[in-house]
Amino acid sequence: MSLEGSYDPENIFAKIIAGEMPCVKVHEDDHVFCFMDLFPQSPGHTLVVPKEPVRNALDMSEDGLKEAIVRVQRIANAVKTALDPDGIVLTQFNGAPAGQTVFHVHFHIIPRYEGRPLGEHAGRQADVEELKVLAGKIKAAL
């Protein structure tokens, strides 16, 4: 899907926000829903999903974007405290040619560890029990 097109309310992240699909949750408030990426590129890969029903960041309201990015910073700091990575990558893709695969706006928080290569994007499915342990540590640091 390119940058043009309409929002599909049946997308997987909309269903997770609505509680219709499971996830390993880290945080929720009025503006965002945050959970562990099921196909992490690195241990601790966390997604911050604004509740605003739009496909990408270019479609977001200015207020929604401000609220979201502040939470991305807050949750990235919790990931830092909880997991002590050597670096953290923040990414956000707009449109399939840019790498987007789920068309509800979201931000990636990807911890990086010295000497450990980044996994494939949306590659191998993680063990949910391991994700729960990581989410518990991040929650405790929020």
Catalytically active residues are: 106
Q: Which is nearer to ligand 5GP, 62 or 120 (CB)?
A: 120
Closest CB 49 distance from ligand 5GP, rounded Å: 9
101 binds ligand 5GP (CB under 6 A): yes
Q: Which is nearer to ligand 5GP, 82 or 93 (CB)?
A: 93
Query: From the CB of residue 91, how many other CB atoms can be counted at a distance below 10 Å?
Result: 13
Q: Which stretch binds ligand 5GP (CB under 6 A): 37-45, 54-62, 72-80, 134-142?
A: 37-45
Closest CB 21 distance from ligand 5GP, rounded Å: 7
Find all residues with CB under 8 Å of 95, minimum gap 6, and list them.
Answer: 1, 2, 3, 56
99 binds ligand 5GP (CB under 6 A): yes
Q: Which stretch binds ligand 5GP (CB under 6 A): 29-37, 56-64, 75-83, 133-141?
A: 29-37
Q: For residue 81, give the 3-state DSSP assignment.
A: helix
Rounded to the nearest 10 degrees, how much is the dihedral formed by the CA atoms of 60, 66, 67, 72? 100
Find all residues with CB under 8 Å of 44, minimum gap 6, and list them.
Answer: 79, 82, 83, 85, 109, 110, 111, 134, 138
Cα–Cα distance for residue pair 88/1, rounded to 1 Å: 28
Q: Which is nearer to ligand 5GP, 35 or 52 (CB)?
A: 35
Cα–Cα distance for residue pair 10/80, rounded to 1 Å: 33
**Contact set with ligand 5GP (CB under 6 A):** 12, 23, 35-39, 93, 99-102, 122
